[in-house]
């Protein structure tokens, strides 16, 4: 799949993958194509685009507030997909849509998947779709080459991590905190060993996400896996229009050069 290949390509160059998250429609849906173009130019391996939803169970305060701002602009799943269609005139990196089940049901599963393929979506993250239901959810629908990314938590036993990893597509999303998204000051002492173990078990690349908010975090946690996902900090910096800080975060994926 294109998403997995993009990650492996940057890893083969000695770099780590970096996937920034943005909330579709934060500040108005018309901004999204320009934001995606900027993130690609800044070195993003792929981009995760969130869909505003009224009950985002995986999202912390920063992303929840971004979603409320987007909802105030009456941004829908349809609007986000149409903005991705426009963005595809310039943006070529893989795009992963993060949404919940209700918007998909309301859109219609077949219509949603067909539109995703049509506008150039490469992957899906659906936090409230358990592994056991994911195959059933898509059983009668044509998902084709759209990757369904699975998540593993810190509390998942080894047997379940292996099961989830074997069914994840594109990459495996390793959650780094017990809780919702949002910047962390420090991480648990055993986290890096946990990530390395998950990476050993997974046939697809493993990316760490939740709580990563500094270049030091990117390097620290990226060392154990194929790359990182940064959400809340990117959303915060976009709202502040601090493009320089975003570029510094993404640049942290690169190996240190010692002369």
Q: Can you give the pTM of this predicted structure?
A: 0.93
Q: Is 30 in the active site?
A: no
Domain extents in the chain: 2-251
The DSSP output letter for 29 is: G
Residue 160 has pLDDT above 50, yes or no: yes
pLDDT in tens, 11-62: 999 999 999 999 999 999 999 999 999 999 999 999 999 999 988 887 889 9
Among 4, 59, 79, 169, the active-site one is: 59
Asked whether the CA dihedral 6, 205, 148, 218 is positive or negative, the reply is: negative
**Neighbouring-strand partners of residue 19:** 229
Residue 114 has pLDDT above 90, yes or no: yes
Least confident of 131-140, 153-162, 194-203: 131-140
Containing H/E element for 227?
Answer: strand 227-230
Among 48, 79, 122, 169, the active-site one is: 48
Tell me which CATH code domain 2-251 carries.
3.20.20.70
User: 234-250: buried (b, 16+ CB within 10 Å) or exposed (e) per residue?
Assistant: bbbbbeeeeeeebbebb
Q: Is 48 in the active site?
A: yes
Q: Can you tell me whether residue 17 is helix, strand or coil?
A: strand
Residue 1 is predicted with a pLDDT of 83
Distance, in Å, from the CA atom of 174 to the CA atom of 168, rounded to the nearest integer, reads 11
Residue 182 is predicted with a pLDDT of 47
Confirm if 232 and 26 have CB atoms less than 8 A apart.
Answer: no
Least confident of 67-76, 82-91, 187-196, 232-241: 187-196
């Amino acid at each position: 799949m294109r998403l997995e290949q993009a990650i492996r390509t940057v890893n083969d160059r000695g770099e780590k993958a970096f996937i920034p998250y943005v909330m579709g429609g934060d500040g108005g849906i018309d901004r999204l194509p320009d934001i995606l173009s900027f993130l690609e130019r800044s070195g993003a391996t792929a981009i995760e685009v969130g869909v505003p939803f009224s009950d985002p169970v995986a999202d912390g305060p920063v992303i929840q507030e971004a979603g409320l701002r987007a909802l105030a602009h009456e941004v829908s799943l349809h609007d986000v997909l149409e903005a991705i269609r426009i963005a595809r005139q310039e943006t070529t990196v893989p795009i992963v849509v993060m949404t919940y089940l209700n918007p998909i049901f309301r859109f219609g599963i077949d219509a949603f998947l067909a539109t995703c393929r049509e506008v150039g979506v490469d992957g899906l993250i659906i936090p409230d779709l358990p592994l056991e239901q994911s195959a059933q959810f898509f059983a009668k629908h044509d998902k084709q080459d759209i990757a369904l990314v699975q998540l593993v938590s810190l509390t998942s036993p080894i047997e379940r991590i292996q099961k989830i990893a074997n069914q994840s597509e594109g990459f495996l999303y390793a959650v780094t905190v017990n809780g919702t998204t949002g910047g962390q000051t420090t991480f648990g002492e055993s986290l890096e060993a946990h990530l390395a173990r998950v990476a050993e078990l997974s046939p697809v690349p493993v990316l760490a996400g939740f709580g990563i908010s500094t270049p030091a975090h990117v390097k620290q946690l990226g060392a154990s896996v194929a790359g990182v996902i940064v959400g809340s900090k990117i959303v915060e910096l976009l709202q502040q229009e601090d493009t320089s800080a975003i570029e510094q975060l993404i640049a942290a994926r690169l190996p240190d050069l010692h002369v």
